[in-house]
C-alpha cells in the first residue's frame, strides 16, 4: 500500500467534511476541497479549494488532477432522486472521472445501511443508494475503507472509546444503534487513508464509555477484509440481490469494473 499525499474531499463543506479536511491538514496531507462556490468557501489557508460539481463527470476530472486519495462525506436528505444524485452519483462520477487511475478511497455511508425494509429506507431509499455506492467502490479495484457511522453527536463527553463492528446488525433506526461524534468520524476516515490495516475493510463505527484510543491501527487490524470480488461487506446480510437492481446501476458496475481492468467508460 502507498500512502496517498494529495487528497480530494467531496462533501467538504458539510459538518463532517470540514472536520475531515482539517484533520487531513493536521496529518500532513495536501487537502483539496471540492466546493460549489469557491468565493464562499472558508478553509485553513493550507487547503486547496477547487470549484466543481459532484454531479458532473467532466467537472470532477479537473478536481481529480494529481489526486491519489478521495474522502467522501456528502449526503442528501431531499428524497430519493436527490439522494441518488448526491450519495450515489458523487461516487459513480468520481470513479468514472478517475478512468481507472488508482486512488485510496474513504467512503462514509451509515450504520444500518443493509437494513433495506425499514420504514426510513422504504420512504427515502437512502440505504439503497448508499449501499449501491459502497458496491461501486468495491468494484473499482481501488484500495478503500468504508465507514458506517452511528448517530452523530449523540454521545456524551465520557463516551469516546471507539468500537469498530462488522455485519451491520443494527435495526432500531435510532440512537440505540450506536452513537459517535462528528469529529471522531472525520478522524477515522482520514486515519484510514494511510493505514495498511484498514485496506479493503468495511466497518460500523460507534463510541462507548472511555477515552479515545491514540492508535487506531489495532482496531483496523482486528477487522476482517471484505471478500475478494464481493460487492458487499464481510458478513453483510444477503438481502439486496444484484438481479433486482436498476439497469443503470448494473451498467455503472460494469463500466467501473471495466475501468479497473484497463478498459474505457464506453467499453
The predicted-structure confidence for 31-76, as pLDDT tens digits, reads as follows: 999 999 988 889 999 999 999 999 999 999 999 999 999 999 999 9
In a domain, 234, yes or no: yes
Cβ distance 73 to 17 under 8 Å? Answer: yes
Query: Would 113 be classed as within a structural domain?
Result: yes
Structural domain contains residue 267: no
- Report how far residue 88's alpha carbon sits from residue 92's, in angstroms, rounded to the nearest whole number: 6
Number of domains the chain is built from: 1
> Which residues, listed in sequence order, are joined to residue 73 by a DSSP beta bridge?
none
Angle of CA points 114, 115, 120, to nearest 5°: 125
Looking up residue 47, the CATH number of its domain turns out to be 3.40.50.720
Domain contains 265: no
- What is the domain extent for residue 48? 6-260
User: According to the model, what pLDDT value does residue 78 have?
Assistant: 86
Angle (nearest 5°) at CA 130 between 105 and 215? 45
Q: What is the pLDDT of residues 39-50, one digit of tens each?
A: 888 999 999 999
For the entire predicted model, the pTM comes to 0.97
The answer, yes or no, to whether residue 86 has pLDDT greater than 90, is yes
Residue 248 lies in a domain: yes
Three-state DSSP class for residue 189: helix
Q: Are 219 and 187 in contact (CB under 8 A)?
A: no
C-alpha cell at 123: 420512504
- Classify residue 237: in a domain, yes or no: yes
Closest residue by Cα to residue 196 from 221, 176, 213: 221
Q: Is residue 226 part of a domain?
A: yes
Q: Are strands 104-108 and 69-72 parallel, antiparallel or unpaired?
A: parallel
Within-domain flag for 215: yes
Amino acid at each position: 500500500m502507498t500512502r496517498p499525499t494529495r487528497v480530494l474531499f467531496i462533501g467538504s463543506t458539510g459538518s463532517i467534511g470540514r472536520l475531515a479536511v482539517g484533520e487531513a491538514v493536521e496529518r500532513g496531507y495536501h487537502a483539496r476541497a471540492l466546493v460549489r462556490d469557491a468565493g464562499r468557501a472558508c478553509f485553513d489557508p493550507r487547503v486547496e479549494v477547487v470549484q466543481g460539481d459532484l454531479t458532473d463527470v467532466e467537472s470532477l476530472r479537473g478536481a481529480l488532477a494529481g489526486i491519489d486519495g478521495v474522502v467522501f462525506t456528502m449526503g442528501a436528505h431531499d428524497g430519493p432522486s436527490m439522494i441518488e444524485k448526491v450519495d450515489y452519483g458523487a461516487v459513480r462520477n468520481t470513479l468514472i472521472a478517475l478512468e481507472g487511475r488508482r486512488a485510496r478511497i474513504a467512503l462514509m455511508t451509515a450504520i444500518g445501511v443493509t437494513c433495506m425494509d425499514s420504514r426510513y429506507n422504504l420512504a427515502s431509499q437512502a440505504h439503497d443508494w448508499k449501499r449501491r455506492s459502497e458496491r461501486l467502490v468495491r468494484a473499482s479495484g481501488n484500495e478503500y475503507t468504508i465507514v458506517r457511522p452511528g448517530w452523530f453527536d449523540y454521545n456524551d463527553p465520557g463516551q469516546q472509546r471507539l468500537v469498530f463492528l462488522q455485519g451491520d446488525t443494527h435495526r432500531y433506526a435510532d440512537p440505540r444503534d450506536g452513537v459517535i461524534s462528528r469529529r471522531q468520524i472525520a478522524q477515522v476516515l482520514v486515519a484510514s487513508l494511510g493505514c495498511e490495516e484498514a485496506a479493503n475493510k468495511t466497518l460500523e463505527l460507534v463510541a462507548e464509555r472511555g477515552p479515545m484510543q491514540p492508535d487506531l491501527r489495532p482496531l483496523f487490524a482486528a477487522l476482517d477484509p471484505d471478500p475478494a470480488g464481493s460487492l458487499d461487506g464481510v458478513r453483510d446480510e444477503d438481502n439486496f440481490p444484484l438481479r433486482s437492481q436498476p439497469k443503470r446501476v448494473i451498467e455503472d458496475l460494469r463500466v467501473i469494473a471495466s475501468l479497473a481492468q484497463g478498459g474505457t467508460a464506453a467499453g
